[in-house]
Structure 1
Amino acid sequence: MPGLAVPMNPIADATFVAQRKQLPVNWKQPQGDPATDHYRRAFKTEDHGGVPVPGCYFWAQSTNKFHVDSCKNIGDIIKSFCHDMLKGFKQSVDIWRAQARFQNLRIAAVSVTGAPGCLSGPKLEPMIKVYSRPSAMSHQKHWRDAVAKGLSSCWHDWQQQVTIPGLPLYPAFAAFPGPMAPPIPNVPVPLASCPSVGMAKMTPTALAQAMNSHFSLDDPDNHFGALTQSIGTAVSTAFNAWLPCQMVTGVMGKGPIPTFSPMWAPVGPVIMGDNIPAPGHLAA
């Protein structure tokens, strides 16, 4: 089971740090007389020499120990939240893969076509909430719900536009010796061979916009926007690496051979065939 194999946490961490969000917000170093002297004397000498933590989500506005510590503490909270959401998303996709199925396919000899909507699967939103922070409260619940709704809606938009463009999935159906071809599994193909115009929804920018559209709390320095950009970049990277690795298997195709005649045409192509829409087509 390939799943989302690309490590998303390091990608999200690097993306957030690169946005250089600073704390305290709108703070300026005291200057002039007597502000500079007052600021210097207000703290112990060692408090002016705080050491920033490498990889911290936030950049301190100064080397003041209290600024540095605030960046670390708040950064750790948001980093933990980010990692939990990515973990919940990954686990939700694994469950989605086990339940996803292709339906309403049309088989003509060896080729198969599937219109938009041929790929069906459960919504990710409730699963992301359960597998990330099920007991979140207050503002963290709002953050969690916005991320879950945004990721779920983009995934659903991609899923609903997946098509099968006449792929040769059933070689045996070109000339089958009988009046009716029994259910036969497809030739495995990568999911990347099933295009979707909804791919535009799985870009970092589109994912971030979808998550931001469900956020309504006051956020003057756009910390949530930095978080969604980080999550969106990680999810998009993992998604694009997953598509070529995920195989479509076990799609049981069947159909009639209307030209079959035991004496005159002992073999013939499947015409107007279809498939059995059982779950598990993306489980392998």
Structure 2
Amino acid sequence: MRTVDRTGDLLICDCGRRYPVVDGVPIILKDPTGYLRADTMTVVERDLAPEVAALLVEGTPDDAPYARLLEHLSIYLDAHWGDRADPPVEHALGAINQRLAALPRVGEAVELGCSAGRIAAELARRARSRARSRSPVRYRPTEGRRAAIRILLAFAMPAPQSSMMKQLARLKFSGNALKVPDKWETPSGDPGAKHWGDAFKPSEKSTSPDPTAPPLFMPHTLNKYHTDTQKKLTQIVGSYMDGIVDAICSAWSTWQSTAVMTGLLINGPVASLGQVVGPPLTPLILASGPKKSPAELKYTNTISNIIGTSWLSYTATIKVPGLPWYPAFAAVPSPVAPPMPNIPTPVIALTQVTTPVSAQMMKNQMIGMHADPTAQYHKEIFDAVCDAFEKCFTIWQASTMVTNILGTGPVPTFAPPVAPVGPVVAGMGNMTPGGFT
């Protein structure tokens, strides 16, 4: 899209595609139809007084679209702003807000997955705060309901971008300061130094090295044959690392869009346990990784197998450590709680063992599996790829949210009029694909 012209409540680009504008916010997506098919109710919902909204859903089933939307919104508001309610209620972000209050001031802070905006509001007290969220969310201040804020930055946090991982891998490899040709020693003494000086034309004695930044290799001298070796190796190794990183990030993206978390145990508002299930990374990486030569195929086979096995070992350890994901399930006025999504939580907040995906662990496993001590620069390549993977994984942990785990379950103590409400007991929660955002 080169230019966008505003026409009424539509954005129209040069190619003729049209995008809706709601409350002054353009909804520009690759597939707006698919998004709106699932979220139209959220997009077109109006700001109504709570009493009016309650009256509109009075007598309607709990699973009616607008009733579910209001219930969903209520859960998010309680989780983020419960301490501002009248009377105040315990809110899920209380402990996080206390930790934020102790942070020093910074120039800029970014929250990925801002949801109903409480953390972004807290960060704004200490920095220029930027909030990003996948879903459109409205929240109203406790006083002055005429004011309302809509956050609509509709995109999911993707798996790590290959451009970042490539740069991290190249930086790590560059840190080895490898000089080429290998084991070169400039001739000295008589007649070695004279022969070395007489063997080349003046134009060959001082040439430009490869300008790639960061430099993967350094020439021993500026002799043409040394800089040519540097350029050739930089192209070969750099091209391979870029290709394998592209394959890793593509596989990671596929995994993230299809993986789910299932088998959560829900008792009252608290969810625990669960299991992450997703496609194996090994065949995905192997399918698109570099394989132009037998050497590349062997490297790709080693890297894809170790990363795939390590990722599977890591994801098998991810469990929910007893989080208050379903506040409404503490008192449900029906024999069975209607399906309800969990409170979005970053992956890093879950119980997990990250040792399998540590750079040192994977590097050692790759060296062992490759089983070829003579393979040139294999340790440095494995080290660079694993280090970049670990750094991107650390960012992914903190920025990826666990969302849309639909919980439900029986309410065995529900017995009106004696007990008109009761907690969910032994309920279950299951994520729909795309819940890791």
TM-score by length of 2: 0.61
* Map of 1:125 onto structure 2: 282
Give the aligned residue type for 2:386. G
* Map of 1:163 onto structure 2: 319
What CA distance in whole angstroms lies between the structure 1 residues aligned with 2:240 and 2:351?
33
Match of 2:270 among 99, 107, 111: 111
Report percent identity of matched pairs.
27
Would you say 1:31 and 2:188 are equivalent positions?
Answer: yes
> What's the CA shift string for 1:153-177, capped at 9, x where partnerless?
2211211111110011111110001
> What's the CA shift string for 1:212-266, capped at 9, x where partnerless?
232123436x511111111112111111111121111111111111111012111
Give the aligned residue type for 1:260. F
> What's the CA shift string for 1:192-222, capped at 9, x where partnerless?
111311x1222322232233232123436x5
> What's the CA shift string for 1:46-97, capped at 9, x where partnerless?
2121222243311112222111111111111111110111111111111101
> Does the 8 Å CA contact 2:265/2:272 hold for their aligned counterparts?
yes
In the TM superposition, what are the counterparts of 1:185-224 in structure 2 within 5 Å? Answer: 185-197=341-353, 199-219=354-374, 223-224=377-378
What CA distance in whole angstroms lies between the structure 2 residues aligned with 1:276 and 1:251?
5
Give the stretch that moved more between structures: 56-65 or 205-214: 205-214
* Map of 2:404 onto structure 1: 250
> Does the 8 Å CA contact 2:403/2:431 hold for their aligned counterparts?
no
* Map of 1:97 onto structure 2: 256
> Does the 8 Å CA contact 1:162/1:195 hold for their aligned counterparts?
yes
What CA distance in whole angstroms lies between the structure 1 residues aligned with 2:431 and 2:222?
61
SS in 2 for 1:105: strand
What CA distance in whole angstroms lies between the structure 2 residues aligned with 1:62 and 1:137?
30
* Map of 1:12 onto structure 2: 169
TM-score by length of 1: 0.92
> What's the CA shift string for 1:87-134, capped at 9, x where partnerless?
11111111101111111211111111115xx1111110111122332x
More RCO (CA 8 Å, sep 6+): 1
SS in 2 for 1:243: helix
In the TM superposition, what are the counterparts of 1:256-275 in structure 2 within 5 Å? Answer: 256-275=410-429
SS in 2 for 1:104: strand
SS in 1 for 2:370: coil
> What's the CA shift string for 1:136-188, capped at 9, x where partnerless?
33111001111111221221121111111001111111000111112211111
Would you say 1:231 and 2:388 are equivalent positions?
Answer: no
Q: Which has the larger radius of gyration?
A: 2
* Map of 2:77 onto structure 1: none
Give the aligned residue type for 2:254. I
How far does residue 277 in structure 1 lie from its aligned partner after superposition?
Answer: 5.2
> Does the 8 Å CA contact 2:325/2:342 hold for their aligned counterparts?
yes
* Map of 2:202 onto structure 1: 45
> Does the 8 Å CA contact 1:148/1:211 hold for their aligned counterparts?
no
Q: Where do 5+ consecutive residues of structure 2 fail to align?
A: 1-155
Match of 1:152 among 301, 308, 312: 308
SS in 2 for 1:82: helix
C-alpha RMSD of the superposition: 1.7
Give the aligned residue type for 1:212. I
What CA distance in whole angstroms lies between the structure 1 residues aligned with 2:374 and 2:400?
38
How many residue pairs end up in the alignment?
278
Write out the 4+ residue segments of structure 1 that deviate beyond 3 Å after TM superposition.
none
Give the aligned residue type for 1:236. E
Match of 1:175 among 318, 331, 337: 331
